[in-house]
Amino acid sequence: MPEPVFLSVVAPCFNEAAGLPMFHKRVATACTDVLGHAAPGSLPWELVLVNDGSHDTTFEVMQHLVQRDPHVVAVNLARNYGHQIALTAGLQQCRGERILVIDADLQDPPELLGPMLQTMEETGADVIYGQRRSRAGETRFKTATAALFYRLLRRLVDIDIPLDTGDFRLMSRRTLDVLNLMPEQHRFIRGLVAWTGLRQVPFPYDRDARYAGDTGYSLRRMVRFALDAVTSFSIVPLRLASVAGLTLGAVGLLGLLYTIGSWAFGSVVQGWTSVATLVLLIGGVQLMVLGVFGEYLGRLYLEAKRRPLFVVDRVLMRSVARLPTHAAEPMVASAWEAKLAEQGAMVAGDRQEKEGGALPHVQ
Ligand code: UDP
Ligand code: MG
């Protein structure tokens, strides 16, 4: 019977090669400080690193970390799927009773693990979410748009999505089990966690600047992320169509009264300008409403296909104390893996054969 893993630290990584060794070092120190050294054969914690189709040497660095440290599990996705999907992949792989979600760029300090675990024990809450008191090293534009976005989102959605939070949070296994049941493609994970309704307690912290590399979130990705957040949790924008229709209808009625009045009193209506303005205005509103419909319809279309969320290329690990829930297939045979196997490293596909389990390779 494999030893259960108490804590899983899950980090999606996109072009994080420069900072990854330092990230691993700080996570390992924090986990060892809090959970102590493992007895041989047991594993109190694991670090699940998901390579989200990086263009740099992130996966090579992960491979070295797997070789050096049995706590590390490296999940290589087949391509870049984006932050939320990469995180989903890691969350589906991990086995811990407690799960810490953290960015690999060291913006969220791993040293907060101890206090967060303590808060969880003390409060008995299912989720301890990091709430940003400050954000170092981010542009004023990003901080301002983020603040505006979270406040707007709160007005639009019915569930209580906490302000100024990212995905940095500690979760209980039962929270994650619910999260893993949610099949949607357009994932706004912090919202999905809030949706569960399980007890959540804030944990204020100061967000650091990136340790190395650049943000993977371009303005375009940020806008898409915001649209996913709103459309996943709210149909208020669809109702805007009715509101816009009613408002314009009322204005139109007033216009009609004015026109009839002018005709009755004989004053000549010249107004090409006003007609043109009205046509443009109404046309604009109609297009906007169609656009909103389109956003929802497009998402409905993509969800309706029910494609797997991601494809795992391979999972590398050395630990024998755990089994992956979703092993990687197909295995790509490479010299490196042969070398790793010689050194006693475990590769998920191998385990799957040894254990005789029929595990899906996609999720
Ligand atoms: N990330 C990812 N896939 C992407 C973009 C980002 O896995 O397509 C990871 C990235 O490596 C980091 C986390 O998601 O660990 C947050 O991304 P980033 O730091 O770029 O976002 P920001 O902190 O600037 O919002
Ligand atoms: Mg970051």
- pLDDT, tens digit (0-9, with 9 covering 90-100), for 217-237: 888 888 888 888 888 888 888
Tell me the average pLDDT of the chain: 84
* Domain-wise residue ranges, the chain: 5-233+308-355, 236-304
Residue 320: predicted pLDDT? 53
Residue 334: predicted pLDDT? 42
The pLDDT > 70 percentage for the chain reads 85
Residue 107 in contact with ligand 1 by CB distance below 6 A: yes
Residue 327: predicted pLDDT? 41
- What number of other Cβ atoms are within 10 A of residue 142's Cβ? 15
Question: In terms of Cα–Cα distance, which of 293, 169, 153 is closest to 233?
Answer: 153
Residue 7 in contact with ligand 1 by CB distance below 6 A: no
Residue 319: predicted pLDDT? 64
Residue 266 has pLDDT above 80, yes or no: no
Q: If pLDDT is split at 50, 70 and 90, which confidence band does 339 have?
A: very low
- When pLDDT is averaged across residues 191-210 and rounded to a whole number, the result is 94
- When pLDDT is averaged across residues 21-28 and rounded to a whole number, the result is 97
Residue 51 in contact with ligand 1 by CB distance below 6 A: no
Residue 21: predicted pLDDT? 97
What is the sign, positive or negative, of the torsion defined by CA atoms of 244, 249, 254, 255?
A: positive
User: Residue whose CA is closest, atom 24 of ligand 1?
Assistant: 215
Query: Which span out of 28-42, 115-129, 327-341 was modeled with the highest average pLDDT?
Result: 115-129
> Which ligand sits closest to the CA of 103?
1
Q: What are phi and psi of 98, to 5 degrees?
A: -120, 145
Residue 244: predicted pLDDT? 83
Residue 121: predicted pLDDT? 96
Asked which of 79-83, 139-143, 170-174, 205-209 is least confident by mean pLDDT, the reply is 139-143
Q: Please tell me the CATH superfamily of domain 5-233+308-355, with its number.
A: Spore Coat Polysaccharide Biosynthesis Protein SpsA; Chain A (3.90.550.10)
> Which ligand sits closest to the CA of 139?
1
Distance CA 34, CA 281 (A): 61
User: Residue whose CA is closest, atom 14 of ligand 1?
Assistant: 83
CA of 12 relative to ligand 1 center, distance in Å: 7
Residue 331 has pLDDT above 50, yes or no: no
Residue 43: predicted pLDDT? 83
Residue 24 in contact with ligand 1 by CB distance below 6 A: no
User: Residue whose CA is closest, atom 22 of ligand 1?
Assistant: 215
Q: Residue 9 in contact with residue 27, Cβ under 8 Å?
A: yes
> Which ligand sits closest to the CA of 222?
1
Question: In terms of Cα–Cα distance, which of 65, 61, 68 is closest to 14?
Answer: 61
CA of 52 relative to ligand 1 center, distance in Å: 9
Residue 105 in contact with ligand 1 by CB distance below 6 A: yes
User: Residue whose CA is closest, atom 23 of ligand 1?
Assistant: 215
Residue 289 has pLDDT above 70, yes or no: yes
User: Residue whose CA is closest, atom 8 of ligand 1?
Assistant: 82
Residue 47: predicted pLDDT? 97
- What number of other Cβ atoms are within 10 A of residue 238's Cβ? 14
List, as ranges, residues with CB under 5 A of the ion ligand 2: 103, 105, 107
Residue 126 in contact with ligand 1 by CB distance below 6 A: no
Residue 60 has pLDDT above 60, yes or no: yes
Q: If pLDDT is split at 50, 70 and 90, which confidence band does 323 have?
A: very low
CA of 86 relative to ligand 1 center, distance in Å: 9
Residue 12 in contact with ligand 1 by CB distance below 6 A: yes
